[in-house]
């Protein structure tokens, strides 16, 4: 898995060019669901999934605190 930072998640989202159809926060929530399903299916190591979930929680916390647009500006450089 190439995503190791919050910035990587934001850049991944921007690279998907989904800003007009899904918000960053909804994208992050969906990613959390995907990771949880991968845990249940045993497709990824538990440690890697926990790290990714922690990054998504950090991203969602920043969105909650400073807003989605500010997070996009901060990380999507």
pLDDT, one tens digit per residue, over 10-34 is 999 999 998 999 999 999 999 999 9
Classify residue 7 by burial, with Cβ atoms within 10 Å: 0-12, 13-18, 19+. middle
Residue 46: predicted pLDDT:
81
Would you kindly state where each structural domain of the chain is located, as residue ranges?
A: 6-75
pLDDT, one tens digit per residue, over 43-57 is 778 888 889 999 999
Classify residue 3 by burial, with Cβ atoms within 10 Å: 0-12, 13-18, 19+. middle
Predicted structure pTM score: 0.85
If you search the block for the tokens 């969602």, which residue do you land on?
60
C-alpha pair distances (Å), 68 with each of 9, 34, 75: 13, 21, 11
Question: Is the Cβ–Cβ distance between 53 and 44 less than 8 Å?
Answer: no
């Amino acid at each position: 898995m190439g995503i190791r930072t919050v910035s990587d998640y934001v850049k991944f989202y921007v690279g998907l060019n989904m800003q007009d159809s899904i918000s960053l926060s909804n994208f992050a929530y969906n990613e959390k669901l995907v990771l949880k399903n991968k845990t249940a299916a045993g497709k990824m190591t538990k440690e890697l999934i926990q790290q990714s979930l922690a990054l998504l929680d950090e991203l969602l916390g920043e969105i909650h605190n400073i807003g989605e647009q500010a997070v996009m500006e901060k990380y999507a450089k």
